[in-house]
Structure 1
Amino acid sequence: MDDLDRKILHELQRDASLGLEEIGTRVGLSRNACWRRIKTMEDAGIIRARVTLLDAAKLNLGLTVFIQVRAAQHDADWLDTFARATRAMPEILGVYRMTGDLDYLIRARVADMADYDRLYQALIARVPMRDVSASFVMEEIKDTTALPL
C-alpha cells in the first residue's frame, strides 16, 4: 500500500457511495487507475465490504449497552455455543474476548431498558454464564467506523 491507496481508502471510509470519477478527482488518479487499485485492495481483503451507516436513534435503537460476561466454562463446546448464540442475535453488534477479570465484552443496540431485558433473557436462555453485568451509554462522544490510515 502506498499513499494513493491510503487516500482512496480515506475517501471510501468517508463515503463509500462515491463514484470512481469523484474518487479519482479527489486523489489525483484516472477512473481506471482508481478502479484497479480498489479492485486490488478488495482482492487482498483490505476492503472487506462497503456498507451504509444508519441512524440508530431514528430507527428506535437509541440505547447502546456494553455487556460484560464471565464464562460458565472454558471449553470449546461452551465457546461454540456462545459464538453461535451471539452471532444469531441481530441486536448484538460486536463480541470481543478480553483479558483481565471479564471473559467477553458484548456491544449491543436496543430500543430501551425493556428491550435490553428481552435481549438479556434470550441470551441467558441460550448460553450458561457465570456472571453477566451491563453498562449503558449515556452519551456518545465519539463513534466511528473509520480506521486511522
Structure 2
Amino acid sequence: MLDDRDRLLLDLLQDDADRPVQELAERASLSASACSRRIQRLRDEGYLRRRVALVDRRRINLPTTVFVIVKTSRHSGGWLEEFRAALASIPEIVEVHRLTGNVDYILKVVLPDVEHYDTIYKRLVSRVELSDVSAYISMETMKADVPLPTRYA
C-alpha cells in the first residue's frame, strides 16, 4: 500500500527521473537514505518499471502521428501471435490497443512524414491478414507524455 510520500515520490520521478535523491528527499520530508530505500522499494514492488528518456520526436525527424484502425475476422491464437510478431517488427508502431466495439485494434504510428505511412502499411499487411485498415492523421497533439495520477494506488 502506498502512502502520501510514496505517491509524492512517484509524481516527482514521473516529472523528472534524474532529480537528485537529496532533492527528492527534501521535497518528501525524508532523509536521503530513507528516500533511497523508498525508491528501491517502489522499484522492487513494481511501481517503477524502468527509467527511460523521452526523446523529442521533432529533433529525430518523427513529427507525424498516424492512428491506424484495424479490423480483422481472425481471432485465433495463431493469428494473434502473427499479429504480435508483425507489430514487434515495425518500430514506428509505438503503441497498440485492443478495443471493444466495431474496431479490433488501434495503432499509434510515428513517422517522418505522411508519405512514409504507405511503407509501414505494406510491411504490416505483408506479415498478417487483416480485413480492414484505416488511417487517421493527427493534426495536433493536444496532450501527451503526462504523468499518471497516483491517487488510485
Q: Which runs of 5+ in 1 are unaligned?
A: none
Q: Where do residues 1-149 of structure 1 align in structure 2 (5 Å cutoff)?
A: 1-149=2-150
Which residue identity does 1:144 align to in structure 2?
D
| Counterpart-to-counterpart distance in 2, 1:44 and 1:108 | 31
Q: CA deviation at 1:144?
A: 2.1
RMSD over aligned CA atoms reads 0.9
Distance in 2 (CA, whole Å) between partners of 1:100 and 1:4 is 40
Structure 1 residue ranges, 4+ long, deviating more than 2 angstroms after superposition:
none
- Cα offset for 1:102? 0.5
Q: For the residues of structure 2 that align with 1:125 and 1:85, how far apart are their CA atoms?
A: 9
State the aligned residue count: 149
Q: Secondary structure at the residue paired with 1:129?
A: coil
Q: How far apart, in 2, do the equivalents of 1:3 and 1:114 lie? A: 48
TM-score (norm 1): 0.96
- Identical columns (%): 41
The Cα shift of 1:132 comes to 0.3
Partner of 1:102, secondary structure, is coil
> TM-score, structure 2 length as denominator?
0.94
5+ residue gaps, structure 2, are: none
- C-alpha deviations, 1:82-135, integer Å up to 9, x for none? 011102211111111100000011111011122111111100111110000011
